[in-house]
Amino acid sequence: MPWSDRRLTVRRMNRAAKWRRMRGYSSMRRAALARALTEFDAATRLQRAFRRRGPAVCNDTDPLTLDPIGDVGRCFCYTTANGERIAYNAARLADYIASTGASVDPVTREAYSAADLGRLQAQAPACRDNLAASVERAARAAAAPPPPVGPEAIVQIIIDDLVAHAEGVVADPAAREGSGVQFSLFVIASWASAYHIVTALLADTDVERAMELNESVPGRVTDALEGCPWAPAALALVGTVCDAVAYGLIEGTEELDGSG
C-alpha cells in the first residue's frame, strides 16, 4: 500500500517513521510525511540492492587475456581485501591456477579461499577437475591452525629467509659459480643484525628454544648451499654469527643464574 493512500492514518504513518528512525517527522503534514516515507523506502531498497550486488567491477579488460570484459564469456569476479572487484575470464583464470599451482589472485596476490575456488569451479565446469587440487589445498589451509606469533615465530621466519636466499643462489648458475662475496657480505651481514636482536628477545622467554634454533642454522644453510664452490667461506661467516649468538645466550643465562 503506498504511503499516499488516504486509508493510512497520520498516527500509523508517524509510528512507521519512528520505527525507521527518521528525523523531523512529528512536525510534518500528512502529504510531506507520505512523501518522506516513500523516499526513505525507495532509498533503502536501492541500498539493499547495491549491497547484494556488491561494488562495481574496477577493470574493463581481463587482466590475463587483455580482452574486453564483455567479450570474455563466463565472468569470475573476485572481491579484494580493500573491497574492489576484479573480473576475469573464468576458464582462463582456472587454467592459470591449474598451470601455476598457486591459488592466488594474479593481480593482488591475495590467496583465494575455498569458497572463491568453488565459485570458479561452478563458472568454469570444463576446468573442474584441474581445480580440484587447488580447492583441496585451500580447504586445508583454512582448517589449519594459525601460524605461531611472537619472538619464536620471528626467529623462524628470519632463519627461513636466509635459507631461501641460499636456495635461490644455488638455483642461479651464475651466482653459484661466482665468488659469493655478494651473498656473504650483503645477505648474511644484513641478516645477522636482525637475527641477533630477535634471538635475544626469544631468549627472554625461552632460552632453550633460542639455543635449539640457533644450532639448526649452520646445518640448514650447509644443505642449501650444497654445490657452491664458495660455500665454505659463507658457512664460516654464518658459523661466526651463530657462535656469537650462542655466546650471548650463554652469558645471559649465567647472569640470570647469578642474580638468582
At residue 257, the pLDDT reads 46
At residue 204, the pLDDT reads 87
207-224 helix and 151-171 helix, angle to the nearest 10 degrees: 10
For residues 166 and 219, is the Cβ–Cβ distance under 8 A? Answer: no
Sign of CA dihedral 199, 200, 206, 211: positive
Q: Which stretches does DSSP call E strand in the chain?
A: 75-79, 85-89
At residue 57, the pLDDT reads 62
CA separation for the pair 31, 120 (Å, rounded)? 51
CA separation for the pair 134, 132 (Å, rounded)? 5
Distance between terminal CA atoms of the chain? Answer: 82
In sequence order, the 6+-apart residues with CB closer than 8 A to the CB of 219 are none
| Bridge partners (DSSP) listed for residue 121 | none
| Bridge partners (DSSP) listed for residue 104 | 111
* Residue 42 in grid coordinates: 525507495
At residue 51, the pLDDT reads 56
CA separation for the pair 171, 175 (Å, rounded)? 8
Ordered mean pLDDT values, 10 residues apiece, the chain (260 residues): 78 86 83 85 70 61 78 75 85 82 84 87 77 75 69 88 83 72 76 87 87 92 86 89 87 51
Amino acid in the structure at residue 59: N
CA separation (Å) from 193 to 95, 158, 162, 218? Answer: 43, 11, 12, 16
| Tens-place pLDDT, residues 8-35 | 888 888 888 888 888 887 888 888 888 8
CA separation for the pair 49, 47 (Å, rounded)? 5
| Bridge partners (DSSP) listed for residue 89 | 75
Plot region of 61 (φ>0 → left; ψ -120 to 50 → alpha; else → beta):
beta
CA separation for the pair 192, 190 (Å, rounded)? 6
- Angle at the Cα of 76 from the Cα atoms of 93 and 134, rounded to 5 degrees: 50
At residue 212, the pLDDT reads 92
At residue 255, the pLDDT reads 47
At residue 98, the pLDDT reads 79
